[in-house]
Structure 1
Amino acid sequence: MPVRDWFLAALACCYRVLNVQNQEILARKYRIQLKGIDAPESSMPYGKEAKEELVKLVGVKCLRVLVYGEDRYDRCVGDINCNGKFVQEIMLKKGLAWHYSAYDQRIELATWEKEARAKRVGLWALPNLKKPWEWRKDKRQGR
């Protein structure tokens, strides 16, 4: 990403991860929404597995967070690297998240999701799986 596209670059090293909800991380005082991906809600298929993988990746570790800005819920939206691993890449390759192309058009995210789909790993092993943003919309509308 070009430097001009970064709203803020923050080093969140040695922040203790306090809570993880889907792909949202609370580290000390910052809520960080992983840019470009959307994981299943906890009550959806693979929701528990996605949360467990994220906790395994970032729990009580030093995080390098590149923040692009904030979302409408006042969360930092950014990329997270932990011990040299790009968290969004791992979540997509393991089939534990969708590429959220409405908000992020990076080709590598689409490629990693496509590879996981082709291998039918994680949530891609299930037929007719509803996307989390559609699931949340249906829930809000009482469906």
Structure 2
Amino acid sequence: MTSAHAWLGVVTHVSDGDTVWVQPLQGGEAFKVRLEGIDAPEICQPWGPQARAALYAVLQGQVVDVQGHARDNYGRLLAKLSRQGHDVGAWMVGQGYAWSYSFQHHAGVYDAQQALAQTHRLGLFADARALQPRWFRKRFGSCHTPGN
């Protein structure tokens, strides 16, 4: 199975607010999948546990549609995940559990959901001290353990 295909799988593990393990329905090993277009708080930073819990609540044990595009620097499959026709990344940002991921002044795919969540002060957008994960990592480093 290549990363450029769409496929169905079951979420077997939720590492944090933007990384899950998905086992293809046809069998085989589970893939480590990074939700494309979002950046959830690191698990050790404020809002990290809440983001993981939210993603766990909607995805653990559920069948998802995986639309993989590429691999990131850590070997994870970058993919859009949908559950019952609903975009999981859009939901995470819209509920205030993650930021829309933007890169080098390019708008993020979920900027509209983020603007709405900020307007309604949902989740981490209600916390003036919430720090985007990229800035947290620059300041404190990553808090992920190998294998998660």
Alpha-carbon contact 2:36-2:78 (below 8 Å) kept: yes
Query: What letter corresponds to residue 19 of structure 2 in structure 1?
Result: E
What corresponds to 2:72 in structure 1?
71
The 1:10/1:104 distance shift into structure 2, 3 A limit, reads farther
- 1:12 corresponds in structure 2 to 8
Alignment of 1:1-143 (within 5 A): 8-13=4-9, 15-28=10-23, 29-102=30-103, 105=106, 109-140=110-141
TM-score between the two structures when normalised by the length of structure 1: 0.84
Percent identity of equivalent pairs: 24
2: distance between equivalents of 1:128 and 1:74? 31
Secondary structure of the structure 1 residue equivalent to 2:138: helix
Letter of the structure 2 residue corresponding to residue 33 of structure 1: R
Equivalents in 2 of 1:103, 1:11: separation in Å?
Answer: 30
Unpaired segments ≥5 residues, structure 2: 24-29, 143-148
TM superposition outliers: structure 1 runs of 4+ over 3 Å: 103-108
Task: Identify, as 1 or 2, the structure richer in helix.
Answer: 1
C-alpha deviation, 1:128, in angstroms: 3.2
CA-to-aligned-CA distance 1:8-52 (integer Å, 9 cap, x gap)? 122133x34234323100123201101110101122221111111
Q: Is the 8 A contact 1:35 1:104 kept in 2?
A: no
> How far does residue 98 in structure 1 lie from its aligned partner after superposition?
0.4
Q: 1:50 to 1:44 in 2, by over 3 A?
A: same
The count of aligned residue pairs is: 134
Mean Cα displacement is larger for which, 27-36 or 15-24?
A: 15-24
Cα deviation digits, residues 97-136 of structure 1 (max 9, x gap) = 0011118956651000010001111001111321111101
Structure 1: unaligned runs, 5 residues or longer: 1-6
* Cα distance in structure 2, aligned partners of 1:35 and 1:95: 16
